[in-house]
């Protein structure tokens, strides 16, 4: 694809500053841990798989200058770096999966010199980048089998190239279907309050010549009632062992509407988004974000008084019974999710 969201270049993290889109495609270089933490928190880099790669590269940034001579000393620093990065955003499983992978590399090689372990950590982070590129393409390949010619597909937030390394999960399915000349049309929910659908999804779909129409979030039901939506595909931030799925707030609304209108509702995500230790969606930590995102960030004048209370969860949980199938890099998972998720994860 034409876009590479995050990469390791000249001893720095190079990433697209997504807060500048769609006005400007700007790459920034990150060479220290605090700047990376801030980039994650402020959503310069976002989307679960991209956060996994960012966290992994961030671990290397955080430990590369370590003066530790012994493994025990190095592990302490690694743990501190990992906890710090983990405190940036709590919901995306991939972020923690990335951190855990880096720590496991260190632990498995504890008998090697610290300098060697540092290099192995960087290698593993680069491996995560390559793996994401291929797993998104697999998701695209599996998911495109569900797409018929002339389908009209609704999506929310941005689960595309900008949320991964360069292809996407939900949008990966769309890119593959387009490549297969299925003549699909996409509707993108604007995705209040951070507008990832409006700012990012329409931008990247347009860039890849996909027919896309922007809607306000509260227009989805109208489209469905008119018979204008054949399928809904969303990404995921964390999927529990029973298939309950946390994704951008508003995803659950769409799943409820889909059930009422008898429209298939799909989740697309790599295995790295599954949290096998969490039995159900009730245990998924949901990030709360600042009130200014709702009241003022994208408006010339605040749309509500300074003293108005705001509820701003960044994600919601769609219960597994509303999900028609989960498209993964290992294949398509259908109900019963408890059993079939376990089987595919082996």
Q: Judged by CB under 6 A, does residue 275 bind ligand MRU?
A: no
Quick one: the chain helix, strand, coil %, rounded to 5?
Answer: 45, 15, 40
* Residue list 97-156, contact with ligand MRU (CB under 6 A): none
Residue 237 within binding range of ligand MRU, rule CB under 6 A = yes
CA 10 to chain centre: 25
Look at residues 272, 306, 271 and name the one whose alpha carbon lies nearest to residue 291: 306
**Does residue 32 carry a catalytic annotation?**
no
For position 159 contacting ligand MRU by CB under 6 A, the verdict is: yes
**Cis ω for the linkage preceding 196 (within 30 of 0):** no
Nearest-angstrom CA–CA distance, 52 and 324: 26
Work out which of 163, 184, 232, 341 binds ligand MRU, going by CB under 6 A: 163
Residue placing its CB nearer to ligand MRU in the complex, 30 or 92: 92
- Cβ proximity to ligand MRU, 235 vs 281, nearer residue: 235
Tokens of 296: 């003022």
Q: How far is the CB of 164 from ligand MRU (least distance, A)?
A: 5
Q: Which is nearer to ligand MRU, 51 or 147 (CB)?
A: 51
CB of 321 to ligand MRU, least distance (A): 20
Among 129, 248, 250, 281, binds ligand MRU (CB under 6 A): 248
Residue nearest to ligand MRU (CB): 235
The answer to whether 250 contacts ligand MRU (rule: CB under 6 A) is: no
Pairing of strands 211-215, 185-189: parallel
Annotated catalytic residue within 166, 237, 244, 329: 237
Kindly report whether the peptide bond that precedes residue 211 is cis, defined as omega within 30 degrees of 0: no
Among 47, 62, 193, 243, contact with ligand MRU (rule: CB under 6 A): 47
Tell me which residues in 194-233 interact with ligand MRU (CB under 6 A).
196
**How far is the C-alpha of 335 from the C-alpha of 332, rounded, in Å?**
10
Is residue 235 at the binding interface for ligand MRU, with CB under 6 A as the rule? Answer: yes
Determine the length of the chain. Answer: 346
| Separation CA 19–CA 214 (nearest Å) | 19
Q: Angle 231-333-190 (CA atoms, 0-180°, nearest 5)?
A: 35
Structure token digits, residue 142: 């599996």
Active site residues: 237
Q: Where do contacts with ligand MRU occur on this chain (CB under 6 A)?
A: 46-49, 92, 157, 159, 163-164, 169, 196, 235-237, 247-248, 314
């Amino acid at each position: 694809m034409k876009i590479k969201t995050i990469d390791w270049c000249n001893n720095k993290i190079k990433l697209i500053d997504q807060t500048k889109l769609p006005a400007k495609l700007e790459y920034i270089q990150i060479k220290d841990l605090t700047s990376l933490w801030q980039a994650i928190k402020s959503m310069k880099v976002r989307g679960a798989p991209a956060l996994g790669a960012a966290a992994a590269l961030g671990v290397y940034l955080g430990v590369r200058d370590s003066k530790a001579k012994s493994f025990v000393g190095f592990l302490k620093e690694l743990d501190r770096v990992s906890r710090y990065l983990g405190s940036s955003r709590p919901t995306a499983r991939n972020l923690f999966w990335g951190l855990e992978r880096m720590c496991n590399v260190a632990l498995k090689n504890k008998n090697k010199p610290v300098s060697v372990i540092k290099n192995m950590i960087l290698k593993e982070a680069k491996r995560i980048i390559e793996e994401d590129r291929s797993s998104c393409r697999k998701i695209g390949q599996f998911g495109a089998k569900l797409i018929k010619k002339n389908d009209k597909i609704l999506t929310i937030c941005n689960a595309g190239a900008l949320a991964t390394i360069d292809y996407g999960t939900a949008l990966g399915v769309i890119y593959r279907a387009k490549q297969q000349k299925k003549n699909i049309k996409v509707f993108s929910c604007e995705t209040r309050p951070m507008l990832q659908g409006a700012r990012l999804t329409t931008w990247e779909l347009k860039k890849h010549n996909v027919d896309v129409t922007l809607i306000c979030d509260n227009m989805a039901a109208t489209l469905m009632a008119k018979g204008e939506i054949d399928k809904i595909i969303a990404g995921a931030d964390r999927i529990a062992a029973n298939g309950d799925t946390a994704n951008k707030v508003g995803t659950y609304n769409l799943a409820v509407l889909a059930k009422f209108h008898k429209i298939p509702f799909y989740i697309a995500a790599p295995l790295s988004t599954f949290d096998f230790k969490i039995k159900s969606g009730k245990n998924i930590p949901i990030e709360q974000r600042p009130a200014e995102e709702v009241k003022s960030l994208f408006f010339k004048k605040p749309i509500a008084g300074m003293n108005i209370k705001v509820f701003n969860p960044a994600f919601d949980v769609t219960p597994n019974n509303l999900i028609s199938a989960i498209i993964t890099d290992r294949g398509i998972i259908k109900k019963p999710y408890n059993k079939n998720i376990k089987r595919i994860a082996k």
